[in-house]
Amino acid sequence: MHFWAGKYPGKVGWLVGPSSGRKKPRRWLPWALDNDAYTAWDKGHAWNEDTYFQFLEWAAAQEQQPLWAAVPDVVANRDKTHRNWEKYASKVKQYGWPLAFVAQDGMEPGDVPEDASVVFIGGTYRWKWRNVPEFSAKLSRVHVGRVNTLFRLRRCEELGVESVDGTGWFRRPEAEFIELEDFLAGIPDPQMTWL
């Protein structure tokens, strides 16, 4: 990841959450802050507010500041995510970073609060991929979570998505790293060539 960040400036970054550990950000690697709501939901654990705010304090003390911070959401729950935005956005905003609103199942682009700088498309797999085209067409700064295939990565690029994350790349065979590097280098996918 660090090698690619140097070789392909602006194309590789780091989404860091409270469970990522407290590794020092590197000046060559842009980074943003996750809230770990999905991680807790996926593991069947309760999300921890204190851990999140301790993490924000750690991030604020870093020399290189994050690109944005994801305000706590509730996976697959539109109403609770809006309530969390009302509860936490002003507290997170005090750190001075742009805020990311995490869109969840049942939401439309009009549900994104006006004071959100970035919309982070979360939610369940099916809802997310049905709605990325509409959100990316109507909103200028879109991040998509859990993009773990070259097909989905290229689709996000076609739609003008600003950034994506996905840890699945690090669990795959080496051949897929070659495909990912081809993408970063701007080499077209031979399967997507139109004659």
Question: CB of 55 within 8 A of CB of 39?
Answer: no
Q: Which phi and psi angles does 121 have, rounded to 5°?
A: -85, 105
Nearest to 73 by CA among 121, 109, 117: 121
Q: Which amino acid, one-letter code, is at 6?
A: G
Q: Is the dihedral of CA 78, 83, 86, 87 positive or negative?
A: negative
- Tens-of-pLDDT digits for all 195 residues of the chain? 889 888 999 899 999 999 988 888 888 899 999 999 999 999 999 999 999 999 999 999 999 999 999 999 999 999 999 999 999 999 999 999 999 999 999 999 999 999 999 999 999 999 999 999 999 999 999 999 999 988 999 999 999 999 999 988 777 777 777 888 889 999 876 554 433
Q: Which amino acid, one-letter code, is at 113?
A: P
pTM of the predicted model as reported, rounded to 2 decimal places = 0.93
Question: CB of 101 within 8 A of CB of 88?
Answer: no
